[in-house]
Amino acid sequence: MTRLRTALFWAAVAALLVGHVLLAWHSLTVARFWEDEAFNLTVPRNLLAGLGYASDGALSGSTITPFDPRISTGPVVLLPVAALLATGMDPVLAARLVPLAFWVLLLAGLAVLGRRIGGRWAALLAVTVPLAFTGDAGVSPLQGPADLLGEIPAAALLVWALLVLPRRAWLAGLLVGLAVQAKLIAALALPAFAIALWVLADGRGWARLRDTVRRAWLPLLLAAVPTLLFELGALLALGPAGFVEHLRAFVRFVRSGGQTDAATTVLQKLGALADSWSLPPAIAVLGAVLVLALATVGVIRRWRTATPDERVVIASALAAIVGALAFVGWWATASRLPLWVRHPAPGILAFFPVLAAVAVWAVSRLPERRAWRIAGRVAVALVAVIVAAGAVLHVAGTFTPREPTLAQQRADVAPLTAWVQENDVEWVAAEPWGWAVPLVVLTGAHLGLHDAPAMSDAPRLTREACTTETLAEGTTARLCAAP
């Protein structure tokens, strides 16, 4: 029986590895290069061109915009991209390899943390959960693990912060700070780590609180260091007056989420989240309920009599619960934000897999009555089946043709790129924001928007028939002379 279980485990590992490789390869080389990726790529490209840490400002007047608050993917992601671009690598591949490396880091962290929590099967389940999650719905998707976005890097850093927290709280604080500078929204994880520190503290009552404060000051200080360094760089680059305006623009962006009022409800948001697991929503909800029930019972059962190792698991469990609630709760109650599951994705990818691992651990902590143990095993087996089915369907979905692909975009823009390079064109205006944006960036020109005053003399990239001179034409895109 032991050999059979071992054989089944390694067969599942092999299948999971194949699934992750297929998803990663599709995301790296097949999936379309979309507008948020393209906008983010303007920052490392400008940095290498000697223009500083600045975007093309497509959403801020279409002029070079240092420390653009509309770029919420941070330097932890974009600076390594610049380093790869400096090697002469293809810009899209250079952009996507960095988030993909963080995806591998995320999976490795979940495997180590899952094994620590509940053994090898818990590790396997934890690493499968991200494969079951799909954030590619809507106009602002998380298409896959290689998208040039900060959500996955932030999730990876949060997982490793949780992993090192029991023994190296200072390092956990630094990793949380780096997560914030990968994606600003990672700051929502701070309460989760505060709860974990409280669980790991010694004593009871006020004594425990005092020990928590004693343990927390250095991690909290180090969590602030990456942001302080980034803002110091902004101050030195912009000067005092420019820095004040930068802070004002940043506050406006945070308060609005970069969106107008989307008028969404909590139920709509939760429905969108349930739809993001490649399964019927009712089945996804059932899996979530089972995981929460098992984790809650396990924590309650061992709260007062926990061994040191069990206390570490309880700290991880409560951090995951608080972290998941913080991300999902913030997004669900923010009526201004659209139904884009990408927004809470860092918390989903970091904390949902940890809860799944805790559910496996909890089965052996249930009451010793036979009925309880049987019910727990059935519940965790059902969770595993649900997660595995979601992962299989997600991977299978990558074989469904979605146009345009990256190759189609490259072919479409090739004649336009040749014209831009031959005529030494510096700026091209996208008309409108959306599908045209990545094509502009692929031409090598700076990215502007057609309705910005600064773009009055720039050629337009559009799919519509030109009303002025047609400068170059691709499969679907064309460059039109400025009106």
DSSP string, 341-399: TTTTHHHHHHHHHHHHHHHHHHHTTS-SSHHHHHHHHHHHHHHHHHHHHHHHHHHHHTT
Estimate the crossing angle of helix 308-333 against helix 91-118, to 10 degrees: 130
Residue 171 CB partners (closer than 8 Å, separation 6+): 161, 164, 222
Q: Which of 429, 463, 454 is nearest to 443 (CA)?
A: 429
Position 200, amino acid = L
Q: For residue 465, with 0-12 CB atoms within 10 Å meaning exposed, 13-18 middle and 19 or more buried, which class applies?
A: exposed
Q: What is the pLDDT of residue 259?
A: 62
DSSP string, 176-193: HHHHHTTBGGGGGGHHHH
Q: What is the pLDDT of residue 432?
A: 83
Say how far apart CA 98 and CA 171 lie, in whole Å.
Answer: 22
Q: What is the pLDDT of residue 257?
A: 62
- Tell me the β-bridge partners of 461: 430, 479
Q: HSE (CB half, 13 Å, CA atoms) of 428?
A: 30
List, edge to edge, every strand of the sheet that includes 470-473. 446-449, 427-430, 460-462, 478-480, 470-473
Say how far apart CA 119 and CA 299 lie, in whole Å.
Answer: 17
Question: Residues 168, 197: contact at Cβ < 8 Å?
Answer: no
Say how far apart CA 153 and CA 44 lie, in whole Å.
Answer: 17
String of b and e for 201-211 (b: at least 16 CB within 10 Å)?
beeeeeeeeeb
Position 234, amino acid = A
Signed CA dihedral, 282, 395, 398, 38: sign only: positive
Question: Residues 412, 476: contact at Cβ < 8 Å?
Answer: yes
Say how far apart CA 177 and CA 230 lie, in whole Å.
Answer: 11
Say how far apart CA 147 and CA 213 lie, in whole Å.
Answer: 38
3-state secondary structure of 448: strand
Question: Residues 358, 196: contact at Cβ < 8 Å?
Answer: no
Q: What is the pTM of this model?
A: 0.95
| Terminal-residue alpha carbon distance, the chain | 76
Q: What is the pLDDT of residue 304?
A: 86
Question: Residues 193, 351: contact at Cβ < 8 Å?
Answer: no
| Backbone angle region of 185, left / alpha / beta, with phi > 0 → left and psi within -120 to 50 → alpha | alpha
pLDDT tens readout for residues 145-193: 999 999 999 999 999 999 999 999 999 999 999 999 999 999 999 999 9
Say how far apart CA 40 and CA 96 lie, in whole Å.
Answer: 11
For residue 310, count other CB atoms closer than 10 A to its CB: 18
Q: What is the pLDDT of residue 260?
A: 60
C-alpha separations of 356 from 17, 49, 347 in Å: 19, 45, 14
Say how far apart CA 131 and CA 439 lie, in whole Å.
Answer: 29
Q: What is the pLDDT of residue 403?
A: 85
Torsion of CA 16, 21, 23, 24, to 10 degrees: 140
- Phi, psi angle pair for 379, to nearest 5°: -65, -45
Kindly give the parts of the chain with pLDDT less than 50: none
H-helix or E-strand spanning residue 40 = helix 35-48
483's tokens:
């009106």
Say how far apart CA 44 and CA 445 lie, in whole Å.
Answer: 14
434's tokens:
């959306």
44's tokens:
């490392």
Position 342, amino acid = R
H-helix or E-strand spanning residue 428 = strand 427-430
DSSP string, 301-324: HHTTT--HHHHHHHHHHHHHHHHH
Say how far apart CA 337 and CA 334 lie, in whole Å.
Answer: 6
CA 30 to chain centre: 19
